[in-house]
Amino acid sequence: MPLFLHENLVSHGNLTAPRYARGVWDRARPPLVWFLLGLGLAVTLPPSPLGILAPLPLAPLVLGGGFGVGMWAGLGFWSMHLIWLPWSFAELFGPWGVVPFIPLILAKAATWGILFGLTLRRPLARVGGWVVLEYLTSLGELAFPWGFVGYSLVGAPGRWLAAVGGVYLLSLVVLLVAYGLGQRRYWVAIPWVLLWVLPLPPAQPTQTALLVQGNVNPLRKVAGNVPDEQVYINLTRQGLAEHPEARLVVWPETAVSAFPPELPAVLGGRELVSGFNAEGGYNRVVRYVDGRILETYDKNRLAPFGEFFPWQRYIGPVYSFFFRAFGFSADLASRPFGSGYRTLGPYGAYICYESVFPEVARALTLRGAGVLVLGSNDAWFGPSFGALQHFQMGRLRAVENGRWLLRAGNDGVTAAIDPYGRVVARIPQHVAGYLAAPYAPATGQTLYTRLGDWAVLIGLGLLVWVRASRLRRLTWRERNWGDVTVPR
């Protein structure tokens, strides 16, 4: 046996695991731990029911590590939280659909790495910076506001805090609880548990809407092989015969491209809020009464790479190259953006992807919406849990603004959510049907509706204050002790 193998395999006269293998494990173990902590945090977010456990994996992430720790934890978190993405894309585009998942996960993990690197050994700064980072992900052409730790509270009565400061306040609360646990201030578990057990007051619905779920395959829909109008006419006729008390009918995103002539007779004077494929490619929702379209709203928050290509005017040839390389058409068709937020009479109607942007529902409420109406087409998620995740995140828009939310999905989730975030009525996914949804218009404004994302400013203040305090300490040491090196 070669001498170097003999030295590695023999210890105290007994054969043991090679020392070099033990060294590899010692080097791999810390990254694996951080990866698993990130994965564990993802498991506490929607649609998982384990939100009460969120501070446990989050505590060590708030306290420890720099760029490498953030990168490994981010890889664990995002690969689990967005696992539905390659699944859904593979259903639509085949094996190549998995490819975009890889750079997305790396990019999202890198943002964690940068945050951790900037807040090394400054846990309170990390708490504040984390909230700021969540807010930044809702800005710009690459906006993708997924993975907020505040959504771990969506299943708890304590989600009512969103009416005070939105989802960013919930994130701040979760992070501060994790910070407290990490500092061994275990008393923070008491208010945390209370957020999960305190009762909520009842909500009193006064009206009924009929939400229609057509369950139209989106690929067949794009090909024009489905008589969409007839699907929705038939379901509406059946639903109104069973629930004649409904005075509002809601059809989901891009339900139809034209309204059939028999629709006014079917509605019988009722209002219809419907998704509409408009000329020019606009993703539109309309308010239709007595055979006429009274008002329209065009989607302002489009899904990047799904409805438009970010910075297409600058890097269009790059997109075309990769599309051709993967065997797709190089024709980059993007939908046009809407021209601002407007209500449809008393209804604050918005569309699909916009439900994860708190600003959209807030803007509509500020403009007088008494009830929120969301049309969505989550059939693109396929059989994954992406649609449920999308639905659970959107529930907080009702709480933030103190409004009932009527949600009509092409294949689900179709549901009614009260102003406290409770799902009071719902029908199964992936079936054609309709739901008699209770609701009540509201007129007041929550603190969040009036003040907006003030919790982000608290997070920014924590970040700046901790860093400024560190700089002041450095300046004091240099003034009193000369040019000293302060360990990081």
- Identify the helix (H) or strand (E) that includes residue 423: strand 423-427
Verify that 219 and 123 share a domain, yes or no. no
**Secondary structure of the chain: what % helix, strand, coil (to 5)?**
55, 15, 35
- pLDDT for residue 312: 75
Contact indicator for 412, 425 with CB cutoff of 8 Å: no
pLDDT > 70 in the chain, percent: 84
- pLDDT for residue 485: 44
Verify that 274 and 182 share a domain, yes or no. no
- Residue pLDDT, tens place only, 335-361: 888 889 999 999 999 999 999 999 999
Does 2 have pLDDT greater than 60? no
- Residue pLDDT, tens place only, 71-110: 999 999 999 999 998 877 776 666 777 777 889 999 999 9
- pLDDT for residue 235: 97
Verify that 215 and 364 share a domain, yes or no. yes
457 falls within a domain: no
Verify that 156 and 280 share a domain, yes or no. no
43-52, 214-223, 288-297, 321-330 — which is least confidently predicted? Answer: 321-330
- pLDDT for residue 223: 52
- pLDDT for residue 476: 45
* Angstrom distance (rounded) from CA 420 to CA 142: 31
What is residue 351's three-state secondary structure? strand
In this prediction, residues 398-416 reach a mean pLDDT of: 97
Contact indicator for 275, 254 with CB cutoff of 8 Å: yes
DSSP codes joined into one string, 128-181? HHHHHHHHHTTSSTT------GGGGGTTSGGGGGHHHHHHHHHHHHHHHHHHHH
Verify that 53 and 145 share a domain, yes or no. yes
Model confidence band, residue 483 (pLDDT cutoffs 50, 70, 90): very low
Which pair of tokens denotes residue 443? 């007129």
309 falls within a domain: no
Verify that 134 and 245 share a domain, yes or no. no
Which pair of tokens denotes residue 261? 């002539």
Say how many domains are in the chain. 2
446 falls within a domain: yes
Angle at 486 between CA 483 and CA 488, to 5 degrees: 150
Which pair of tokens denotes residue 484? 């000293």
- Residue pLDDT, tens place only, 105-156: 999 999 999 999 999 999 999 999 999 999 999 999 899 999 999 999 999 9
Verify that 92 and 192 share a domain, yes or no. yes
Model confidence band, residue 486 (pLDDT cutoffs 50, 70, 90): very low
463 falls within a domain: no
308 falls within a domain: no
Verify that 24 and 138 share a domain, yes or no. yes
> What spatial distance separates the first Cα and last Cα of the chain, rounded to whole Å?
47
Verify that 149 and 288 share a domain, yes or no. no
The domain that contains 369 carries what CATH number?
3.60.110.10
Verify that 245 and 352 share a domain, yes or no. yes
Q: Taking the model in full, what pTM does it have?
A: 0.89
- Residue pLDDT, tens place only, 412-470: 899 999 999 999 999 999 999 999 999 999 999 999 999 999 999 999 999 999 877 76
* Angstrom distance (rounded) from CA 471 to CA 434: 61
* Angstrom distance (rounded) from CA 150 to CA 55: 11
What is residue 103's three-state secondary structure? helix
Model confidence band, residue 218 (pLDDT cutoffs 50, 70, 90): confident
The domain boundary, picked from 173, 197, 221, lies at: 197
Model confidence band, residue 9 (pLDDT cutoffs 50, 70, 90): very low
- Residue pLDDT, tens place only, 21-78: 455 445 557 899 999 999 999 999 999 999 999 999 999 999 988 999 999 999 999 9
Contact indicator for 59, 357 with CB cutoff of 8 Å: no
Q: Structural domain of residue 446, as residue ranges?
A: 207-302+337-450
415 falls within a domain: yes
Verify that 403 and 266 share a domain, yes or no. yes
* Angstrom distance (rounded) from CA 397 to CA 369: 13
Average pLDDT for the chain? 88
* Angstrom distance (rounded) from CA 416 to CA 261: 29
pLDDT > 90 in the chain, percent: 70
* Angstrom distance (rounded) from CA 226 to CA 217: 8
Does 484 have pLDDT greater than 50? no
Does 12 have pLDDT greater than 70? no
- pLDDT for residue 21: 43
What is residue 341's three-state secondary structure? coil
376 falls within a domain: yes
Verify that 264 and 240 share a domain, yes or no. yes
* Angstrom distance (rounded) from CA 94 to CA 89: 7
* Angstrom distance (rounded) from CA 46 to CA 388: 8
- Residue pLDDT, tens place only, 189-212: 999 999 999 999 999 999 999 999
Model confidence band, residue 3 (pLDDT cutoffs 50, 70, 90): very low
455 falls within a domain: no
* Angstrom distance (rounded) from CA 443 to CA 452: 17
Long-range Cβ pairs for the range 80-86 (8 Å, 24+): 80/38, 80/39, 80/42, 80/43, 81/42, 81/45, 81/146, 81/147, 82/108, 82/146, 82/147, 83/384, 84/381, 84/384, 84/385, 84/386, 84/389, 85/386
Q: Count Cβ neighbours within 10 Å for each residue of 124-142 and write b for 16 or more, e otherwise.
A: bbbbbbbbbbbbebbeeee
In this prediction, residues 17-22 reach a mean pLDDT of: 50
Does 8 have pLDDT greater than 50? no
